[in-house]
Every structure is written in structure tokens, then in C-alpha cells.
Amino acid sequence: MFSFCVDPASLGDFAWMACYLTTGKHMAIYTSVFTVLLLLAITAPTALAFGFLGASSARSHFAPLSWFGKAYIAIVRGVPDIAFFLFFVIALDQLFEWIRHEIKCPDWEADIWQGNDFVVCDIAKLPLGNSPQWVHETYGFLLAVLTFAIVFGAFAANVLYGAMRAVPHNQLETAESYGMTRRQVFWRILVPQMWVFALPGLSNLWMVLIKATPLLFLLGVEDIVYWARELGGAKTARFTDYPHGDWRMWYFFGLLVFYLLFTRVSEIVLDKVMQKLTHGQATLGGEAQRKAA
């Protein structure tokens, strides 16, 4: 990148390092940090939406809907989440391909489960076999985002369900006695008040979400873990201008520091938000603030 990088072998330690850390491959690892941030930016609101749907359907008076909501909340508690990650990525992919297959090739005779293979007709493949590389990567990333949203949606649903039950019940009864319908009670009384109760759980969830991002690697996305393994491995002078030994330890040390900083900053910001929200609330936290002032 720098003009003095023409002949790395002749450089001093510091200049060599500066050149080494700005090679094209290293740019890829810096961009993959943005992949992580993008994942967080898309997943957090989507998961919150899924969670809201899950929690409100668990409260529903229509039995099948409420069973569905409760099952969605309960299912993630007994099983390791990475099993869900590995499961949903394949299952969703097959689901999409199967739907496209049913629509696009209605006269396909053969079974789609042929022994140990999953076969759909060529035009139903996702993405199409002849599409460019970036389409494959984007599709993989979107599958990963959807998987994250489903799993974290269940966690968020759990938090929101608890928060909805924490809203004092006599508030709801008062609203009903004023003649509000169930829908009105839900939107005008319950939803605005539940956020204070949900925030500690949701901020915990945000920290967990940050710490779950390296699992993108398992879903086949070229994320920071992938690049740290690639770049850190021992390189000989035959393949690169910057030969070095096995540096994977140092790359992962870097990632460790990155995540520590990220969680620390989030913690500080969320504490600030919580302080703002509890201000003037009739809770223990609000009371403590009032006494301190």
C-alpha cells in the first residue's frame, strides 16, 4: 500500500510490519469486521421483531397460536444453540429450494430425497449454478442472518414475554374497565410500559449476540475467524513477499482484544441508556437515583 513497500525483504521491522498489515489480504480481514457489524445491524432489529411476534402470540387467547409461541420460546432453552445454527442453515436452504422446486418444476417425477442426496431441478437451485460468486456469498450471508434472527428471536421472545407479564396487572384491568378492547389494551397500555422491564434482558441479549458473531464462521461465511486462520498460518517465501511463521495465536489474540473492547464499550453505553430510562421511574433503580441526587 505504501510506496516503500516495493521490496519487503529489505525493510526494517517497523516498516515491514506497516507494509504487511496493509496487504490486499489484510484489507479483507478489515472488511470482514464490517461483515460482523452488518450482521449485528440487521440481526438485532429482525430478532427483536421475531421476538415481539413470538411473545405476543404466546399471550394470544387463540390456543394453537399460543402453543406455537410458547414452543418457540421453550425450544431454545434445552438444546445447545450452535446445534440450531447448524440445523437451520441446511434446513432453510432446503426449504427454499423445495418451495422453488414445487413452483418451477411441477411436472418433476423423481423424488427429491434420493438416497443420501437432496435433488431439485436445475432452475430451482438457490443460487443458480451459473450465478456469479458474489451472489453465492450474499445468499450465504442472508441465510446466516435469518438463522441468527430465528434463534435470537426466540431469546428475545422469552425476554419480552417476561416483560409483558411484569407490567402491573391492575393497569390492564383499569384499561379494560375504561372500555378498551383487548387490542387497545395491548397497544396503548402494555407495549409502551414493557420496555423498562425488558431493557436489562435485552441488553444482556445484545452482549450475547456480540459474542455469538464468531459462529458465522461455522455457517460458512468468510468472517474474521476465517481470515484470522487464513492469514495467520505459516507462509513460506515461495508464495508471498511476507514470509512468516505460524502467527495464528497472535491473530486470535487480536480478535480476543477486539471482542473485549466491543463488549466493554457496549456495556458502558447500555448502562448510560438504562440510567436515562430509570430516571423518574417508580422502581428500585429510580428510587436510588432520586436519593443520590
Exactly one of 28, 126, 199, 218 binds other proteins (CB under 8 A); which one? 218
* Interaction between residue 118 and other proteins (CB under 8 A): yes
Residue placing its CB nearer to other proteins in the complex, 185 or 227: 227
Q: Is 44 in the site for other proteins (CB under 8 A)?
A: no
Task: Please report how close the Cβ of residue 5 comes to other proteins at its closest, in angstroms.
Answer: 27
Print the binding letters for residues 60-99 with other proteins: x by CB under 8 A, - otherwise: ----------------xxxxxxxx--xx--xx--x-----
- 213 lies in the binding site for other proteins (CB under 8 A): yes
Count of C-beta atoms within a 10 Å radius of residue 219 = 20
Q: For every residue of 171-238, which 3-state class applies, written as one string?
A: HHHHHHHCCCCHHHHHHHHHHHHHHHHHHHHHHHHHHHHHHHHHHHHHHCCCCHHHHHHHHHCCECCC
* 206: CB partners within 8 A, 6+ apart: 44, 266, 270
The minimum distance between CB 179 and other proteins, in angstroms, equals 36
Instruction: Judge if the upstream peptide bond of residue 132 is cis by omega within 30 degrees of 0.
Output: no
- Angle (CA) 209-213-217 rounded to 5° is 150
Q: Which is nearer to other proteins, 49 or 90 (CB)?
A: 90
Binding residues (CB under 8 A) for other proteins: these are 76-83, 86-87, 90-91, 94, 113, 116-118, 155, 158-159, 201, 204-205, 208, 210-215, 217-218, 225, 228-229, 232, 246, 248-249, 252-253, 255-256, 259-260, 263-264
